[in-house]
Amino acid sequence: MTYTNPVLDADWSDPDVVRVGDDFYLTASSFGRVPGLPLLHSRDLVNWTLVGHALQRLEPAAEFRTPRHDCGVWAPSIRHHEDRFWIYWGDPDQGIFQVNAPEIRGPWTRPHLVKAGKGLIDPCPLWDEESGEAYLVHAWAKSRSGVKNRLTGHRMHPDGTELLDEGKVIVDGDRIPGWFTLEGPKLYRHDGWFWILAPAGGVETGWQGALRSRGFFGPYEERIVLEQKDTDVNGPHQGAWVRTPSGEDWFLHFQHKGPYGRVVHLQPMRWGADGWPVIGDDGAPVAEHEKPGLPAQPPAAPATDDDFPGGRFGRQWSWTVNPRAGWATQHSGDGLRLTCVRSADAHDLRRIPNVLTQRLPGTPSAVEVDLTLHSEEPGARAGLAVLGDAFGWIGLQRGSDGTVQLVHRFAEPVAERERDAAHPLPAPEGRVRLRIEIGAGARCRFSYDLGDGPRSSGPVFAATPWRWVGALLGLFALAPTGTGHAGAATFTHFRITSL
């Protein structure tokens, strides 16, 4: 039996993986979305399901009342030590945080700030069973600190809550010929060596490096162990080494695919005769390979579809900020009931906090949802969006004369407000089925059905990522500024199907 890469074909950025018994657990960057720190489970490293999140709110809460799409949770590391799960991550504006839990589903502790500072990113802990010492390594974000291409190491208290020194640069990428943007370190102990698996060369164009030293603080020697070569997998790097119960070695990493974000690949790994890791097909990514020697599992992937039973939404959804009470209301039936939240920024979805999002699918797909606009408020609107540095949406809006119209709008990356992509049309029933077909290159075609058959709307829209984050699908309900209650909209039967 074989598998095909990517094994997670959506934006599960900067993955890290740990094995506990027969189970594998993966977490990834969640940036400014809430809940954060997604938790995925697998028993064969190929089929994954989303089982929860380790972070329910971003701190400090006041900083995440408005969207900060490229901030928040960067490149977490997950480990299992002393019968607990531990996750460390860097917030580039605040420092290094940690949470822990006795079980993968929690309860997880509140975020604990391990080291404060600007530009501290990509932390990874190590509890060294040989010496009883604990360590932590992290990288630097030049945008906040003025420093990059370096890895800093610390001794850490064994309880994982504090660092015991000021830190030392243990790898200076400027001293390695041809290396730049060294980041994303993952720290391991193997065969008497300290190992750091870390990418360099940039997200879109880089490679995976391995560094080793007999002592944690160095000196380290380095080698490139995975690169694009003659494959179509650009920038293959930043991920995790994991060993199966039978002793097989595997490496999970991401590939940056523009608006689709960072999709996850699984590579075979072995240790060469010279003691260095060999990843993929002699250092090149594999597109297809024999599955790991693990018990066969049924096909699985993180959920996308949702009927919103009782008004509740599934784990695959996240808000673009810390949510506030009343944005979504539970009720006795099915369907997502979103309040038309008043906002002075209703003309620009990139600035709206109450957008419920999930990842853009990485393969050609059709996204559909049924929408009913209940609000009687002039200017109230609700719809289905593709969000990135540019955005486009289609939905319903209540006019000043009380009628409901189907509207389709977009904004370019440099635009400060949206504009029409098609002429508004009457929607006298206040209901519509919305559809977005996502083709090759994340080119999106919007369409609708007002009850008289499906019709296309406007030109093709090319989805764009945020700076670090892939494009997102979004559901929203808004109203212009004013007083009183602005009503609501209901979404039902959300579906994503392959084309």
Catalytic residues: 14, 183
Residue 306 CA to residue 357 CA, distance in Å, equals 12
Residue 464 CB partners (closer than 8 Å, separation 6+) = 258, 259, 388, 389, 390, 413, 471
What single letter denotes the amino acid at residue 335? G
CA 74 to chain centre: 9
Residue 196 CA to residue 213 CA, distance in Å, equals 9
Return contacts of 409-414, CB within 8 angstroms, 24+ apart.
Answer: 410/458, 410/461, 411/348, 411/349, 411/350, 413/389, 413/464
Reduce the DSSP state of residue 494 to 3 states and report it. strand
Q: What's the 3-state SS for 266-301?
A: EEEEEECCCCCEEECECCECCCEEECCCCCCCCCCC
* Residue 427 CB coordination number (10 Å): 22
Residue 66 CA to residue 321 CA, distance in Å, equals 6
Q: Are strands 472-479 and 341-342 parallel, antiparallel or unpaired?
A: parallel
Q: How many CA atoms lie within 13 A of 394 on its CB side?
A: 30
- DSSP-assigned letter for residue 147: -
- Phi, psi of 487, rounded to the nearest 5 degrees: 85, -165
CA angle centred on 248, ends 216 and 244, rounded to 5°:
85
Strand partners, 339: 488
Strand partners, 295: none
Residue 221 CB partners (closer than 8 Å, separation 6+) = 211, 212, 213
Cβ atoms of residues 371 and 358 within 8 Å: no
Burial of 424 (0-12, 13-18, 19+ CB in 10 A): middle
- Phi, psi of 144, rounded to the nearest 5 degrees: -110, -30
Residue 260 CA to residue 36 CA, distance in Å, equals 19
CA angle centred on 169, ends 166 and 170, rounded to 5°:
120
Residue 291 CB partners (closer than 8 Å, separation 6+) = 1, 2, 3, 44, 46
Residue 399 CA to residue 425 CA, distance in Å, equals 11
